[in-house]
Amino acid sequence: MQLRYVFSETGTGLRRNVSMTIALVVTIFVSLTLVGMGLLLNQQAQKAEDYWGSKLQITVYLCNQNSRTPHCTSGAVNDAQKAAIKEVIDTHPEVASSYLQTKEEAYATWKRVFISKDKTEQQIYATVTPEDMQESYWVTLKDPNQFRGVESALSGMDGVASVHDLRAVLKPIYFWMSLMKWGALFIAGFLLVAAILQVGNTIRLAAFARRKEIGIMRLVGASNLYISLPFLMETLVAALIGVLLASLAIGAVMYWAVYGRLRNNSQIVEWVDWHDALVAVGGIAILGVLITLIPTLVMTRKYLKV
């Protein structure tokens, strides 16, 4: 097999079908970039779930004099009710540990988080005192996914105003991250189909343009592999360029967005890192080669029968 001929025909084919090659590269680049971003978003969602999973707690707010829930009809929680609530928490099999946040501690946290330096706001909230706060038990679970039992047991007890789970706060975040992930993968799926069709069209046009050369090679006994190898090389070059551009795009997102902005300015969650980016790049590299070589092998068997 003369490799010089193979490389020569590959270069000739790329120059002859330059517009089709560019269109194929752009399609592969955009689709693989979206696939890579979908993989990164999937990794980010998993990291966020793992990060918050170990920190998720159930907060049991006790009744105070201002509570109007059905289990606070007797006013603020009394010592007997508090002891019964504590016993349920201490003996429940889903609970790992707990601690009581007093009204004074809740008031200090409220002041730190909600009251700004604006004098008008300070005057508005000046009437709020520690007695207006609610005592609360902060319950850490053995398994963050096993919480329904203790939540149900505590919600119906006298002296309990409400039971809050941090999942209610995180659910919208998980929803939008999942929506972006599947949206990127869904659009990428359409573009991957377009890339496969583009490969087939490129092979068809290239085979038509070289039909005389293919016929002569058939007459002199050239093998199917020898004839189809230049076509394989052409699509492989387009795939490698598309993969390279998609990898650079993912690297740019990691460098300027994740490491330049998010990791330095936000510590609320564990962010994806370069290892996750390399995994995504590896995935799109394999996918990029497959979506070009497999259609090329199929199409060459059809269009090179001269």
Contact 205, 20 (CB under 8 A): yes
pLDDT at 1: 47
How far separated are the first and last CA of the chain, in Å rounded?
21
- Cα dihedral: 51, 53, 55, 56 (round 10): 140
User: Which of 148, 147, 180, 216 has the alpha carbon at shortest distance from 48?
Assistant: 180
Q: What is the pLDDT of residues 136-154, one digit of tens each?
A: 998 988 877 778 888 889 9
Residue 60 backbone dihedrals phi, psi, to 5 degrees: -105, 105
Q: What is the pLDDT of residues 216-235, one digit of tens each?
A: 666 666 666 666 777 778 78
User: Which of 244, 253, 283 has the alpha carbon at shortest distance from 271?
Assistant: 253
Structure tokens at 221: 């006994």
Q: What is the pLDDT of residues 88-119, one digit of tens each?
A: 999 999 898 899 999 888 888 777 766 555 55
* Res. 172 pLDDT band, cuts 50 70 90: confident
- Report pTM: 0.67
What average pLDDT does the chain have?
Answer: 81
Q: Which domains, from first to last, does the chain contain?
A: 3-52+170-303 (no CATH), 57-165 (3.30.70.3040)
What average pLDDT score do residues 242-250 get? 96
Biggest alpha carbon distance in the chain? 101
Contact 299, 200 (CB under 8 A): yes
Q: What is the pLDDT of residues 61-90, one digit of tens each?
A: 999 888 888 888 888 898 899 999 999 999
pLDDT at 196: 85
* Res. 271 pLDDT band, cuts 50 70 90: confident
* Res. 130 pLDDT band, cuts 50 70 90: confident
What average pLDDT score do residues 182-202 get? 82
**Is 60 exceeded by the pLDDT of residue 188?**
yes
Residue 158 backbone dihedrals phi, psi, to 5 degrees: -65, 140
166-178 b/e (C-beta count within 10 Å ≥ 16 → b): eeeebeeeeeebe
